[in-house]
């Protein structure tokens, strides 16, 4: 992982779950971290934990749905550390409702704003600096960006959108030697399931998942680090996710069944 030493890395969604675990995994490698999310006090407590390991991260609270705040985040990171090498677009949110049971259709807009528009705003702000440094954009998408998932239609749509966007950007940036790394986690134990918006537009508050059977955020982060370090193209964290890509082509009804079963069983 020597490739990551001294790299200046922005991580969005660093206050919880996968983003937080990734920050804790990167800090000991000598990375200069910029921790972002909306909840500043949780970011400060993470920064404190990281500082105890000898690193000195920057905290910048920002909402990725605001173009202005995305620009300020990038500017502040560059001002503070003098450069930017890697942008990890990780902030995200989800839903948990069948489409025809939704009472609040703006759930779909909210999810698209955070999961799709947010990464595009932030990446646009960061690109001049990333091009200068032959840097890297990491997008934390989902296996829901590779296949349909019942009760997650709006989430799956946002993740398909973001994968399509960053697959296109990868080609645009090839001559600039800016890498684009797509991470597709399967279910991970984090806050996202409790925070998922239900049919009425409110967070569920309790997880519908079988938590003991999920990959932990720390395990997910551990899988991500070598892929980021080697500027890899794609990480799919589960075997069913990897097989699912082939099944979608050759046995699409089977992958639909697997997705239905995964949601019904909660793991
Ligand atoms: N957990 C899974 O099963 C799973 C599976 C596949 C993909 N993923 C993806 O992994 C990424 C991380 O999710 P997670 O599971 O770690 O979820 P999480 O524990 O709920 O963390 C989500 C993070 O995103 C931040 N966030 C949410 N809305 C934001 C906004 N508008 N602006 C800035 N930050 C915002 C949250 O912080 P604040 O509330 O402080 O802003 C939090 O730090 C997401 O993109 C998710 O879609 C997760």
Looking at residue 208, its pLDDT comes to 84
207-231: pLDDT as tens digits: 989 989 999 999 999 999 999 999 9
16-67: pLDDT as tens digits: 999 999 999 999 999 999 999 999 999 999 999 999 988 999 999 999 999 9
- Does residue 174 contact residue 228 with C-beta atoms inside 8 Å? no
The Cα–Cα gap between 20 and 42 comes to 10
Phi then psi for residue 198, to 5 deg, are -85, -175
**Which residue from 155, 207, 214 is spatially nearest to 188, judged by alpha carbons?**
214
Nearest atom in ligand 1 to 43's CA? 40
Looking at residue 67, its pLDDT comes to 98
Looking at residue 1, its pLDDT comes to 72
Looking at residue 186, its pLDDT comes to 98
**Which residue from 193, 199, 201 is spatially nearest to 267, judged by alpha carbons?**
193
Pocket of ligand 1 (CB under 6 A): 12-19, 37-39, 42, 63-65, 90-93, 114, 140, 142, 185, 187-188, 190-192, 195, 217
146-198: pLDDT as tens digits: 999 999 999 999 999 999 999 999 999 999 999 999 999 999 999 999 999 99
**Which residue from 15, 138, 128 is spatially nearest to 87, judged by alpha carbons?**
138
Q: How far is the CA of 12 from the centre of ligand 1 (A)?
A: 8
pLDDT of 3 over the 90 cut: no
- What are the structural domains of the chain? 2-238 (3.40.50.720)
Question: What H or E segment, with its residue span, contains residue 168?
Answer: helix 153-173
Q: Is 155 among the residues known to form the active site?
A: yes
> How far, rounded to the nearest angstrom, does the alpha carbon of residue 252 sit from its chain's CA centroid?
26
Q: How far is the CA of 205 from the centre of ligand 1 (A)?
A: 15
């Amino acid at each position: 992982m020597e490739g990551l030493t001294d790299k200046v890395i922005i991580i969005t969604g660093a206050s919880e779950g996968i983003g937080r675990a990734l920050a804790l995994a990167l800090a000991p490698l000598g990375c200069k971290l910029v921790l972002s999310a909306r909840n500043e006090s949780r970011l400060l407590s993470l920064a404190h934990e990281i500082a105890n390991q000898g690193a000195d991260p920057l905290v910048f609270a920002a909402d990725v749905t605001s173009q202005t705040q995305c620009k300020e985040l990038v500017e502040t990171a560059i001002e503070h550390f003098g450069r930017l090498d890697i942008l990890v677009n990780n902030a995200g949110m989800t839903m948990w409702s069948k489409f025809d049971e939704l009472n609040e259709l703006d759930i779909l807009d909210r999810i698209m704003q955070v999961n799709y528009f947010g990464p595009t705003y932030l990446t646009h702000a960061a690109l001049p600096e990333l091009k200068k440094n032959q840097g890297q954009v990491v997008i934390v998408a989902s296996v829901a960006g590779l296949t349909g998932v019942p009760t997650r239609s709006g989430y799956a749509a946002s993740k398909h959108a973001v994968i399509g966007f960053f697959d296109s950007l990868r080609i645009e940036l090839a001559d600039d030697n800016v890498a684009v790394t797509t991470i597709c986690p399967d279910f991970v134990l984090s806050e996202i399931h409790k925070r998922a918006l239900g049919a009425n537009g409110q967070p569920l508050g309790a997880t519908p998942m079988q938590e003991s059977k999920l990959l932990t955020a720390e395990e997910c982060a551990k899988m991500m680090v070598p892929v980021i370090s080697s500027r890899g193209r794609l990480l799919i964290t589960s075997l069913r996710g990897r097989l699912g890509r082939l099944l979608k082509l050759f046995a699409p009804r089977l992958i639909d069944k697997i997705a239905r079963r995964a949601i019904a069983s909660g793991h």
